[in-house]
Amino acid sequence: MATASPPLASGRKAKDIISAARESLAKMIGGQPQDIIFTSGGTESNNLVIHSVLRHFHKAHASEGDTAERRLLEEGATPHFVTCTVEHDSIRLPLEHLVEEQVAAVTFVPVSKVNGQAEADDILAAIRPATCLVTIMLANNETGVIMPIPELGQRIAALNQQRVASGLPRVLLHTDAAQALGKRRVDVRDLGVDFLTIVGHKLYGPRIGALYVRGLGERTPLYPMLFGGGQERGFRPGTENTPMIAGLGKAAELVTENCEAYEAHMRAVRDYLEARLVAEFNRKIHFNSQFPGTERLPNTCNFSIRGPQLQGRLVLARCRTLLASVGAACHSDQGDRPSPVLLSCGIPADVARNALRLSVGRSTTRAEVDLVVQDLKQAVARLEGQA
C-alpha cells in the first residue's frame, strides 16, 4: 500500500483519499477540513488535548509582557483543569496523573443527582484565574445523558471576553463526542467548542479516531506528543493508516446522509425495549438513566432488575442470547462493584450493582428485542430458582 507522502501516482491517490475523508468528517460535524487531525482513537485524541493545553499554559506564561498571565506564573500558579465525575477514563486518568505528578490541579465537578448532568452553573463556578481547560463529554457512555455543552460554550465565550480584557488566558472547551456521533446531529458551531473528539467504531467505522481543533494552530493551540515524519502537518506524525482513514471517512459520510433516520429508528426500538422490560418485570425494573426533563441518546437503556441475587454480571452469565455490558464496555471487568458513574448520578449501590447497559443499533429489530427480553426473563428465573 502506498503512503500519502511520495510524489508517485499511488501516493497522490492515497493523499486524495485522506483529503476526502477529512472533508467528510468536517462536514459531519460542521467544521473545516483543515481543523481535523487523524489519530489512533479517542484515547489518543483526549490525551493530545490535555497535553497541548498544559504545554500552551507554560509557553504562554513564559512569554514576555507584564500581563496577568505572566503574573500567574511568577506567583507559582498551577494550570487548572475542570471536568466532571462521570468522564471516560481517557480523560479522568490523564488528569489524575497530572495531579499525582504535581504539575496541574483538577476540579472534578459532581453531576446532579436530579438530572444526571454536569450543570453549567457548577462548572462555571469551578473556574479559577489559572483554569486553562474545561473538558466535559457530550453524552455519557453509560447513561446516555446529554451534557449542556451548547450552554457551556456560550457562557465560557462570554467569560473569556472578560478574562482577555483583564489579561487572563482564555479557557478552552473540549468535548469528547465519541458516544454521541452517529446517534444525533453534532455541530461544532452550535456547541461552541475548541476541541472535539471523534471515535470511528462508535459510528460504525474502523477503530481509528480524529480530533477537531477550531482554528488549528492559529486560534487554538495543538502541540504534538510524537515526533517523526511530519504527517498531519506535524501535529500527529506517523505514516497514515490510509485504509482505516478511508473507512472513517465513509462512516462519516453515511452519518451525514442518514443521521435523522438512524436516530429515529434507534429511539423507537429503545422505547419498545423499555416498554417490554416494564411489561415483563413490572416494579422490579429500575431505569438508571431516565431523569425527568433530561435528554439522552436514542440508543441507550441502562436498567437494573431489583433482587438480592440479580447482580448484572450474574444475569448476563445466564443469558444465552443477549450480549451486553454492566457498564462501560471498554472496561467492564469490575466484578460486582457498582458503576462509579451510576453512583455519581445518585443510583443506590444495591440498584447500581444490578445494572445492565443495553444499546440498540441501526439494524436492531423489535423481534430481536423480544428475544432479548425473553432471555433476560429466563436468566432471572434461573437465578431466583437457585435462591
Out of 84, 132, 259, 330, the active site residue is 330
Active site residue 319: no
Mean pLDDT score, 109-134 = 97
Residues 369 and 377: beta-carbon distance below 8 Å: no
Least confidently predicted of 16-30, 49-63, 291-305: 49-63
Residue 220 has pLDDT above 70, yes or no: yes
Distance from C-alpha of 301 to C-alpha of 359, rounded to nearest angstrom? 6
Residues 230 and 237: beta-carbon distance below 8 Å: yes
- Average confidence score pLDDT of the chain: 92
- Give the pLDDT confidence of 16-41 residue by residue, as tens digits: 999 999 999 999 999 999 999 999 99
Alpha helices in 177-285 (DSSP H): 188-191, 242-281
Quote the DSSP letter at residue 208.
-
Percent of the chain residues past pLDDT 70, beyond the cut: 91
pTM above 0.85, yes or no: yes
Mean pLDDT score, 349-366 = 96
Residue 329 — pLDDT band, cuts 50, 70, 90? low
Q: What is the pLDDT of residue 60?
A: 82
Q: What is the pLDDT of residue 332?
A: 52
Q: Which cell goes with 131?
A: 483554569
Residue 5 — pLDDT band, cuts 50, 70, 90? low
Residue 9 — pLDDT band, cuts 50, 70, 90? low
Neighbours of 260 (CB within 10 A): 10
Mean pLDDT score, 355-381 = 97
